[in-house]
A = this chain, B = another copy of it.
Amino acid sequence: MSNEQVAYTTSTAEKPLQITDIYELEKVAEKLIPSGGWGYLHGGAGDEWTMRQNTKAFNHKTIIPRILANMDKPELQTSIFGTGLRLPVIMAPVAAQGLANEEAEEGTAKGVAAAGTIMAISSYAGKSIEEIAKAGGGAPQWFQLYLSKDDGFNRYVLDQAKENGMKAVVLTADATVGGNREADIRNHFTFPLPMANLAKYGQGKGQSIADIYARALQKIAPADIEKVAAYTGLPVIVKGVQSPADAMLAIGAGAAGIYVSNHGGRQLDGGPASFDVLQPVAEAVDKRVPVIFDSGIRRGQHIFKALADGADIVAIGRPAIYGLAVGGWEGVKSVFDYFYRELEMVMQLAGTKTIEDIKNTHLVSRLKLHLDNTLN
């Protein structure tokens, strides 16, 4: 264990990437990232059934191409909470990005800023909020909060978030304990690098995931949303929502956004694909607040389908981390450029000029097509 901590050396690559697809990028990244770090970043919970379903589920619905839409030059820009984005894709909060590239979250922040979109900074980032904000060069960022049992720590990081200009707080509520990530168990994985926010608050590196969760607050209630919102004065987005009921509770407690996610299949295996619950949750939200979506996106068509089913913007996690591993900050930007190109192509072929047009698109269930061959 301590050997690994000493010896953890990972990619230092920094170059723009020609990305054909994420599956190929993933294979290259796997070769660059030490196995312990790879297991943590890539793995999912239990049998990884839910993780695999996350991407497969996009095939449950199909996009019907529209060919006489009289449009060209799709417009991908959108905005959320008054922040303009070049594309409806943001960077999901991912912990410990130094596992992938020495640039760590600073690289990601720089790449995401260059891509013209928002980065969400993890509570468990390797770099401090201040360092990441600085690397982002003033680009809009959000701070993702794992509530600690130690309320002093909660105040410390939220203070940091405010001081460094974070535009919103993403309150992750689906990880009150760690999922049974078997790669980490088999690798006896402990974080080989410090987590800056914890370290600055006086907690060192070399801790296992179990150590991390031992400090995390398990009891999360609607009142916590109100508390964080009141303390920070920032919009609070509740992350990990998979049920209409939780969406209702969160909005009732003042949530400014609903983030539909199953944590990339890393928490509860045997739960539904994130995409499969997006539509019912979005219907419950009923446009009162924005809906953010992640888990499983690997293609432009996936972004399109999520927007058509009720998301306002989507987030990517692992794909950007793979880009970080293979190309540093430029690799991260290349990943967002890849999704830009793919979504632009899909929009043209689907006959949708704007993000709003996508949201007004009706997807068709594949199973329903088999059963009754009725397009509605």
Contacts and interface: CB of A to CB of B under 8 A. Distances in A.
A301 B270 contact: yes
B174 A65 contact: yes
Interface in A214-250: 218-222, 225, 238, 240-246, 249-250
A182 B345 CA distance: 14
B174 A67 contact: yes
A367 B371 contact: yes
Interface in A271-308: 271-272, 276-277, 279-281, 299-302, 304-305
Interface in A46-105: 46-47, 49, 58-60, 62-73
A143 to B, nearest CB: 19
A368 interface: yes
Contacts of A179: 345, 349
Contacts of A280: 373-375
Contact of A370 (B180, B249, B250, B367): B367
A156 B240 CA distance: 58
Interface stretch (A5-13, A129-137, A261-269): A261-269
A68 B271 contact: no
B218 A72 contact: yes
A365 interface: yes
Nearest to A277: B375
A369 interface: yes
Given A180-B342, A349-B268, A64 B219 contact: no
Nearest to A376: B280
Contact of A62 (B47, B249, B271): B271
A65 B305 contact: no
Given A59-B49, A369-B272, A68 B246 contact: yes
A65 B349 contact: no
A277 B59 contact: no
A300 B182 CA distance: 14
Given A67-B176, A366-B370, 14 more contacts: A21-B47, A60-B370, A63-B270, A65-B242, A65-B267, A66-B246, A67-B241, A68-B238, A72-B219, A176-B348, A180-B342, A180-B345, A269-B299, A280-B373
Interface of A: 20-21, 46-47, 49, 58-60, 62-73, 173-174, 176-180, 182, 185-186, 218-222, 225, 238, 240-246, 249-250, 253, 262, 267-272, 276-277, 279-281, 299-302, 304-305, 309, 342, 345-346, 348-350, 364-375
22 contacts: A46-B301, A60-B370, A62-B271, A66-B243, A66-B245, A67-B173, A67-B240, A68-B225, A68-B250, A69-B220, A71-B219, A177-B349, A179-B349, A180-B342, A180-B345, A218-B348, A268-B346, A270-B301, A272-B364, A279-B373, A365-B371, A367-B370
